[in-house]
Amino acid sequence: MSINGIVVSAGIAFGKALTITTQLPPLDFKLLSSEKINLEQQQLTQAINNLIAHLRHCQHHLCPDCDHFQLIDSDIMLLEDEELQQQLYLHISQFRVGAAVAVDRIFNQHAAKMSALDDPYLANRSDDIICLAKRLTSALHGHLQWDLSTLTEDTILLADDLTPAEFAILPLTHITGVILESGGLTSHTAILARAAGIPALLNYQFSQSKNTIKDNTQLILDGISGELHIAPSSELFDQLKQKQQQELQRRQALMIYKDKPSQTLDGHRVTLLANVGNLNEISHITDVGAQGIGLFRTEFLLMNAKALPDEQQQYKLYCDAVHSLEGNVLTIRTFDIGADKEIPCLTQDNEDNPALGIRGIRYSLTHPRTFITQVKAILRAASHGNIRLMFPMVSQVEELEAAFVLIEQAKAELIEQQKSFGSISYGIVVETPAAVLNLPSMLPHLDFISIGTNDLTQYTLAADRTNPNLAKEYPPLSPAVIQLITLTISHCKQTDVSVSLCGELGSDPQVLPLLIGLGLDELSINPTSFLDVKVALIKGNYQQYVEHAQHVASLTRIDDIAKAINAFAHDYDSICK
C-alpha cells in the first residue's frame, strides 16, 4: 500500500522502517495496594538497569572523547545515583503511586532545581533530565528509546518530530529517508534534510494510521511523487529502483552545467550562491559550481555544543570557512537564536509566542556579550577573505543602530587587544513587512540586503510556517508576499544597494523565472537544488521572465499565481526540450 505526504526534500529512498517516538501513555495516578508497592519498586529497578545497559551499549560504537559519549555518560551517572533511586522508591511507597508517576514527579523536581541554577550550562541540563525521564518511563513500559548508533542497514526514520539538534546527530550514513508527523515546508528540520540531500515527507500521520508500520518493514519513500510505499511488491521495488537510477542519472547529467556561466540565453547574468549550515556543506559547494555562500546559518554550530564557542574557537571556524572558498564571498548571518530553536548551551526563556519574541537581532541586543564575541571573531576572520555580515530579523532602524554600536565596541576591544581585523560589508535579512516598509531609513547604513522569504511569508500572512495544517492554504507565494518582494527590490535599486534572496523560495526552479523577472540579480540556494535552479536560469530568456513576472504580480489569488507559475514552467520546459 502507499500513502501520500508532503515532500520537503526530493529523491527516492529505500530502507527498513524505524520509528522513534516520545509519545507515552497517560500517567496512571491510581493508588497502589500495599502488596503491589514492592513489585512496582522492582519493576523500576529493572527499568533503570535495562536503560543503563542500553546506554552503555550505545557507547560501544562511539569514541570515549566525543561529546555524544560524554552526554550518555552523564545520563548513566544520574541513573546510577543512589540518592535519586532512594527518592524514587520512597515516593512509590509513601504516596502509593506507580513507578512512572514517581519518575515524572522526582525527575521534574530535579529539573526545576537545575534550571534555577545561575550557571547557564548546568541550568540547561534540566532539559536532559526531562528527556531522560521520558526514556526511563519508556523502559518501564517495556521498550527503550531510540539508539541509532548501531544502525548498519539503510533505514527510513519515522518520528513525530525532530529538533535540529536531534537531526544533527543522526547517523546519515544509514538514514536514507525521514518521515515526520509534524513540521512545516520551511521548518528547520526540513531545511536540514534538503541540505543533506535526504528525501523527506512531512504531515504524514503514521502513528494514527490503521496500518501501523512495524520496525524493519521494507519502505520506499518516493520524494518525487510524495508517496510512501509500505512493504512494496518486488515489481514496484524494481520499478522505483529504476526511477531512482533515472533520477541519479538526471542529477549526474546536470553536472555539465556546473561550470557554465550563470546567465540567461539573452545574456542577463545572475549570481548564484549557496545556503549552508556547517563546514562540511561549504566543502561541497564547488561540486555544484556555487559562486560563494549567500547564507551561513551560524546558529547550527551551537545546536549540539555543550558550551558557547569562545571567540578563538569561532575565529578558527570562520577562517576555515573563508579559506575554503578561495576568494569567493562568505555571507555570515549572526546567530539567529530564539525560543523556536532549542540551543542547550544558551539561556532562553520560555515564551508564549516565540516567533514574536526574543529572536534574531533581538536576542543579540539583549545578550550583547554573545553578539560582540561573535562579531569579534568574524571581524578577525575578515582579514583572510571576503566576508559579508548580516543580521537576522531587523525590522527597525533603531535595532540596526544598536547593532552598530556593539560592532564599534567589538572593534575597540580588538584594537585594545592588538588583534588585527579586516573590512566587512554589512546587510540584513528582510523577514518582516516592517523591515520592507522601513528599508528607506535603513538602507543608508547597509551594503546589501537579503530577502528571507520563509519568515517574510510567515509574518505577512500571520501563519506559522511549521504548522502542517496551514501549509496548503498559505503556500510560500501569495499576492502580498510578491508585492513585498517587489517593493524590497525597488527600494534597493533606487539606492544602489545589492539585493539577494536566501529563502527556500529561491531553491524552487519553477519560481526562478518570477524572481529574476521581478529584478533579483542574486539568489542563495540549497546545494541540493542548485543545479536545477541554474539550468532553469540558463535555459531561459530574461525578457520573457520579466513579462511573466509582470503577469504574476498582477494576480490577486494564491491559486491563480500557482497556476500561472506551473503553466509557465510547463510551457518553457516544452520549448527548451
Question: Cell 549572526 maps to which residue?
Answer: 334
194 known member of a binding site:
no
Catalytic residues: 188, 502
Let me know: does 268 contact 516? Beta carbons within 8 Å: yes
Q: DSSP state, 275? A: E
Binding residue per annotation — 135?
no
**Calpha distance 555→320 (Å, rounded):** 46
Q: What angle do CA 527, 427, 419 make, to 5 degrees?
A: 95
Cβ atoms of 269 and 262 within 8 Å: the answer is yes
Q: Are 393 and 429 in contact (CB under 8 A)?
A: yes
299: annotated binding-site residue? no
Q: Is 297 annotated as a binding residue?
A: yes
Amino acid at 107: F
Q: Is 96 annotated as a binding residue?
A: no
Nearest by Cα to 148 from 178, 190, 184, 103:
178
Instruction: Return the CA Rg of the chain.
Output: 26
575: Cβ contacts below 8 Å, ≥ 6 apart: none
Rounded Cα–Cα distance for residues 569 and 566 (Å):
5
Show the cell assigned to 161. Answer: 518530530
The three-state secondary structure class of 459 is helix
* Runs of H (alpha helix) within 423-529: 433-437, 439-442, 453-461, 479-494, 512-518
Q: How far apart are CA 563 and CA 290, in angstroms?
A: 30
Distance separating alpha carbons of residues 106 and 91, to the nearest angstrom: 8
Is residue 420 within 8 Å of residue 444, measured between CB atoms? no
The DSSP annotation for 5-64 comes to: -EEEE-SEEEEEEEEE----PPP--PPPPHHHHHHHHHHHHHHHHHHHHHHHHHHTTS-T
Task: Name the nearest CA neighbour of 287 among 245, 259, 247.
Answer: 259
Cβ pair 228, 177 in contact under 8 A: no
Distance, in Å, from the CA atom of 96 to the CA atom of 474, rounded to the nearest integer, reads 51
- Any binding-site annotation on 454? yes
Cell of 2: 502507499
Distance, in Å, from the CA atom of 207 to the CA atom of 160, rounded to the nearest integer, reads 8
Q: How far apart are CA 337 and CA 216, in angstroms?
A: 37
Is residue 169 within 8 Å of residue 136, measured between CB atoms?
no
- Report the run of H or E that residue 372 belongs to, with start and end: helix 368-381
User: What's the rounded Cα separation, in Å, for the pair 425 and 413?
Assistant: 20
Q: Are 171 and 148 within 8 A, CB to CB?
A: yes
Residue 32 to residue 37: CA distance in whole angstroms: 7
**Binding-site positions:** 297, 333, 431, 454-455, 465
**Binding-site positions for phosphoenolpyruvate:** 297, 333, 454-455, 465
**Binding-site positions for Mg(2+):** 431, 455
